[in-house]
Structures are given as C-alpha cells and as structure tokens.
Structure 1
C-alpha cells in the first residue's frame, strides 16, 4: 500500500515541469553529464541517496520513498545503485510513461519550457540574467570544482556572453544549449 502511494505521489510530481527529464534533444552526451553529476564519488553507480541530494541541491524537492520505488527496478540485483545503462533505461521509461509520443510542435514548446526551467535554476535572483556569482553558486551546490574558482566561472560566462555585458541572458543561454546538443538521427 505504501509503495502504491509513493508511485501516485511521484506521478503527480513527474508530470510537473520541475521534475521533467524529457527533452527531445537530450542525447547520450548530455544524459551522461547528468549521470556524472549525480555520481558524486565517481564509482560508476548512483545511489538513490545521491540522486535525492542532487535534486535537492537544485531545488527540486523529492520524496526519498518516491525515488526508491521508481528506481529500484532499474538497479541490477546485488548492486547498491543504478549504473549508467540503468539510468538510460530509467530516463527512457519516464519519457514513455509520462510524455508518450507527441507532435513536433509540442516537443519544441516543451523544449523551450525545459530550457526556461533550466535557466531559472541558474538565475537565482530571477532578474533574467545569469551572473558569474550565480553560476558559481549553482556549480558549488553541485559540488563541481569550477564552483570554487571565480576566474574559471567568469571565463565560462565570457564564452557564452554574445553582447559582452558580463552576464548571460536567456537568448544566450538558449544558443549555448543548442550548440552543445548533438542531434541524433
């Protein structure tokens, strides 16, 4: 009974724009980056706790019970967590379960919404721009080494900042995301 309640709770949360993992252009390179961010100790396995911590740091509150009930079927017997292959299967399963097949126009709208949500994670003060300090804060929350080096973060901002105002607006963010996507055929 408790597992069923967890699944219903996750279903409601998963259909919200904050929990969505689906993006038509999300490919294996980007999915691998997400896996590596969750894999804090770099052992090739992510535990439910590691996923929960990463989502919480990004402001995406999840219930540990929800995560456990969703992920357990993707963990190989004897493993303590999910491997990259299991993570890909989990992503594909969530994609099919919650979003199914959609028209191309709807996919483009969802991609725009996903980019907007991703932008909001970095734009902590909500002013419509990502500053070096905001980027550094998010990278730090994720435990990435770049989060400790403001000079490196400023270089990252400069590499995306097309109008040279020292910060990244949504248009620049969108262009940057489009340039890192490797389209699959």
Structure 2
C-alpha cells in the first residue's frame, strides 16, 4: 500500500514525537512537558530547565495562543524550527513536498496556507503577509519555488517562534 503524503507540517514529526502526549488526550500538559524536559536532560547529561523556562517554551509553541498546547501545535513548531537548513539556501525536501501538494515544483498561496494549521487570531493575515513579502522581494509570479519557500519559512519561523 502506498504511503500517504503528509498534508500538514505536524504530520512530518508525528511518528518521532508522539510519545510526548503521555496520556493520549491530544493536549500537551505542563506536567508532561516538565517530565519530558527532565528525562531529556538526564539522558543527555545536562541540567533540566526550571519550570519557568519550560512554561515559557510551552507558551512559545502554543501557536494559536489559546492557552492550550495541542499535539499538532508542538509538532508544527518542531518542524518549523528544523525545516530550513541554516548552512544552505534550501528547505528540507519532505517539508517542501508538504507545501507543493500538486507536485508541480511550486507552492501556490492556497498550498502555502493549509499545511501551517491554526496560527491564532491573526494567523491567516500573517501567512498572507509572509507569502506576499517573499513574492514582492523575489519573482512576483504568484507562487514560491524551493528557495522562496525557504525564505518564507524563515520569515514565518521568526514571526511564530520569535527567532
């Protein structure tokens, strides 16, 4: 049976990070994040962040800013953080394919917005702004190629994650 193409950015990390939602309720609760931070710190041999840092991180990944961190928000944030190769002017191939849903080698405005999910009250406007900004700075043809998608994801990462 053919593997289904991921439709959302969160789908790219679902298999690797599904363990974070320990109780399986779809929400990443503060206790789950605290326990995960302690576990990773112990396994990697560094000091676990204090609860204030963990709480900030939880708010950072609450992409729609509703006060609840759901699995898809965490996974989208993780993929967004790692989608762009900092050493090269490229975007990971699997990430580009999530956006290029018709396989034509370009990302239309419609293809750009869907995989990002809910980014809060101003999320759709932010998605449009990033798309339009990259278009204005580059080819202005109504679609993003691989390099433009990388630039758009870089801008979006700064807007959403703050870095």
Q: TM-score range by the shorter chain?
A: 0.3 to 0.5
TM-score normalized by the length of structure 2? 0.41
TM-score normalized by the length of structure 1? 0.37
Structure with a larger share of its residues in helix: 1
